[in-house]
Amino acid sequence: MTIEIKRLKKDSLPRLFAQLQAKGRRILAPHSRAGKTGFEELSSSGQVAQDYLQTTLSPKSAVFPRCEALFRYTFEGKEIKMEEKPEPAPTVVFGLRPCDAASFAVLNAVFSWDYPDALFKSKLEKTALLSISCRQADDYCFCTSVGGGPGDTRGSDILLTEMGSGDYLAEIITDRGRELVQLAPELFQEAPAPGKEKHLAQVPVKFDLKQLQEKLPKVFDSPQLWLEQSLRCLGCGACAFVCPACVCFDLQDEANRQGGVRLRCWDSCGFSLFTLHASGHNPRSLQSQRWRQRLLHKFSYFPDRLQTLGCVGCGRCSRICPADMNLLEHLKTIAEAS
C-alpha cells in the first residue's frame, strides 16, 4: 500500500472538522480542562487544545472507555430482557501522536488474544486515527527506544506533520485514511516538497531494548532491586489509567429490582487488591511485587505471548506520577546493569 502525500493547509482545519461532522463522524480531539488535556468529543477545531507536547490522558478511551456498559437488562416478570446495544458512531480521533497511534495495536492484541472482544472490535472498526507528528519531545519521551518515532506512521490512517509554513504535510496511509480524504477532497491539496524529517523532534534512543529484554527474566528473583525501585511508589492507579497501552479492567454489576447493567471499568495492577484471591491469598501483596509485574508485563510477558511490546514510550506515566517513579529510569538501570 503506497502512502500518498498531500498538503493540508492549517486554515483548512475548521472546514475539515465541519465536513467530517456533516458526514456523520464524531471527532475526538485534545481538549484542556484544569490544565490537563484529554480526548473529548469536540464540535469545532477551535476547541482543540494548543501547545501540548503530549496529552495528559491517552486516546484509548475512544475504543476502551473508562467506564462502559457491556450490557443492560430489565426484569419483566420472570423474564430477563436484554437491551439492544447501540451501534458505535463512526469516529475520528484527531491530534494523537505517533506513539498513541501505535498503541491501538497493543490494545487490539489483548482484545483479540483468547477471545475476540466484540465491544472493543466494534468500536475499533469504526475509528479512524488522524495523528499529528511530534515537533518537540521532552525527557520523558522514549518512543525511539521501543521501536517508534516522532514521525512514525504505524497505526495512523493519516499522519499530519506541521511544516514551517504552518501547513501540514499529510501522509494518507491506509484505505480508511483515503476514505476520510474523500469526505473533504478539496482540502487535501498538491504535495509539498518531500522531507518531513526536518520538521520532527529529535528523540535519542535511551536504552538498548534487546539488552533490557535479555536481562528482565534474569532479574525476576532480585527482591532487593524491586524493593529499591518501588520504595517511593504510592500504589495509585494513575500510571495505568493514563497509559495508552494499559488495558486491565474490572467488571462491576449494578442492579436493582427493575434491572441492571454490567460495567467494564479501568483497573490497575498497582492496586493492592488487584490480585487478591477469594481465598484471601494475595500473590502480589507487596508494592515491590506489583512494580516488578508492571515492568515485566509490558516488556517481557507481552512480547512473549502477544508478539508486541506493551509500551509505546509516550512518557505519560512518568509525567503524571505523583511519586516521580520514572519508568524510563528504571528500564535504563536494568538494561545497563552488568
Contacting residues toward other proteins, per CB under 8 A: 33-36, 38, 56-57, 66-67, 138-140, 227, 230-232, 234-238, 240-242, 250, 252, 254, 263, 265-266, 268, 271-273, 286-288, 318, 320, 322-324, 326, 329
Question: What is Dmax (Cα atoms) for the chain?
Answer: 69
Gap between the terminal Cα atoms of the chain: 44
Residue 300 C-beta: closest distance to other proteins, Å? 22
Q: Quick one: 130 or 233, whose CB is closer to other proteins?
A: 233
Q: What is the layout of strands, in order, in the sheet containing 188-189?
A: 36-41, 26-33, 91-96, 127-132, 158-162, 168-172, 4-8, 188-189
Cβ pair 244, 312 in contact under 8 A? yes
Nearer to other proteins by Cβ, of 260 and 303: the residue is: 260
Smallest separation (angstroms) from other proteins to the CB of 113: 24
**Triad 32, 41, 33: Cα angle to 5°:** 15
Between 161 and 230, whose beta carbon lies closer to other proteins?
Answer: 230
Q: How far is the CB of 234 from other proteins (least distance, A)?
A: 4
Q: Are 290 and 274 in contact (CB under 8 A)?
A: yes
Our CB check for other proteins shows the closer of 219 and 263 to be 263
Instruction: Between 6 and 330, name the residue whose CB sits nearer to other proteins.
Output: 330
Closest approach of other proteins to the CB of residue 129, in Å: 22
59 Cβ contact partners less than 8 Å away, ≥ 6 residues apart? 28, 39, 93, 96, 100, 244
The length of the chain in residues reads 338
Smallest gap from Cβ 236 to other proteins, in A, equals 4
CB of 167 to other proteins, least distance (A): 32
Residue with grid cell 484509548, as numbered in its chain: 60
